[in-house]
Amino acid sequence: MRPWRRAASAALALSALTLAMSAEPASAGYGHEKYTFAVIGDIPYGDAQIADFPNVVEQINADRDVRFVDHLGDIKNGSTVCSDAYFQQIKADFDKFRDPLVYTVGDNEWTDCHRPNNGGYNPLERLAEIRKVFFPRPGRTLGQDSARVTSQADQGYPENVRYTRADVAFAAVHIVGSNNSMAPWTGNTAPTPEQAAEVLGRTSAVVQTVRDTFAAARRHRDRAVVLLTQADMFDPTVTNPSFADYYAFQPIVKAIAEEAAAFHGPVYLFNGDSHVYNSDKPLGTGSAWLRFYGLSTPASNLSRVTVDGSTNVNNWLKVTVDPSTKQVLSWTRVPFAQ
């Protein structure tokens, strides 16, 4: 392992140990009744989807079952310009959601903006703009019926949020593709010091949010935990993954695995990034990902769901929460209206 990579990996692991308890997660109640939320991600990609995205918003708005919406990040494809004007356009579309909208930041809107075809931006400057545009009121969701959430805004991470709905603990955490933003930027063969520092800080904040979410869920005796993220840390389409492309996820996967294994109920991880619908148990007994990430204890109660995305996406995910059932969550893909 190269020295910078070994040092960064060690620092990531060390930072994950420095945790502090935060405030209790915000709750919108719903009692113990069934309710539904919508999940989308990696959309809109390209001109046709951009033009049609308001129709997707209206279709979800029209479903009376839906109580809130989660967008798993990547609000553009990886080869288009990361402009202020585009950010404002998508924010205007987000503002049309009638229900609370929780947006989990993706890599295409900041991490990969160093690419020449993205405009050759400094990714850290784009991240600052994303936070300015999409998180104008830390501690509140987007959407017309804005709801209160517990955020890490006081630590500089307003996008990391927690909330509880009817005995289910939710956390939206900022984990992105491109090795969680450790892939070298254009013109570099290794991460810059500024780039590595951002990843270290954000990773520590993510791990804290994950652990705080499970701690609160145990105190409240919640029935299930739901994690929402952009990055696919267990991409089934990669047949021979290289640790060099995944090592920045290791502290996060370790925290999720430990907390899930110790939790009494089901745990669900919703992600985008790899674009093809998939449902599996990436840290179950016998999974190759356990060995890959250096884990000794499986988390067989962790289920992962990847939403469809990119240019071929033709549906949104409708998730039903029923606290009276053993699995708590069930879901179906709803085709986009033609």
Domain ranges of the chain: 3-335
Average pLDDT over residues 31-50: 92
Grouping H, G, I as helix, E, B as strand and the rest as coil, residue 32 is: coil
Q: What one-letter code names the amino acid at 21?
A: M
Q: What average pLDDT does range 287-305 have in this prediction?
A: 97
Q: Which residues contact residue 254 at a Cβ distance below 8 angstroms, ignoring those fewer than 6 apart?
A: 13, 16, 293, 294, 295
Is 50 exceeded by the pLDDT of residue 219? Answer: yes
What would the mean pLDDT of 1-28 be, rounded to a whole number? Answer: 47
Q: Is a pLDDT exceeding 50 seen at residue 4? A: no
Q: What angle do CA 199, 205, 211 make, to 5 degrees?
A: 130
Query: Which whole number is the average pLDDT over 3-25?
Result: 45
Distances (CA, A) of 52 to 59, 130, 220, 337: 11, 22, 41, 10
Q: What is the pLDDT of residues 221-269, one digit of tens each?
A: 999 999 999 999 999 999 999 999 999 999 999 999 999 999 999 999 9
CA distance 57 to 53: 6
Higher per-residue pLDDT: 104 or 14:
104
* pLDDT band, residue 166 (cuts 50/70/90): confident
| Domain with residues 3-335, CATH architecture | 4-Layer Sandwich (3.60)
DSSP codes of every residue in 314-337: -EEEEEEE-TTSSS-EEEEEEEPP
pTM of the model: 0.92
Q: How far is CA 74 from CA 35, 110, 295, 311, 326, in A?
A: 26, 9, 29, 12, 32
Let me know: does 94 contact 144? Beta carbons within 8 Å.
Answer: no
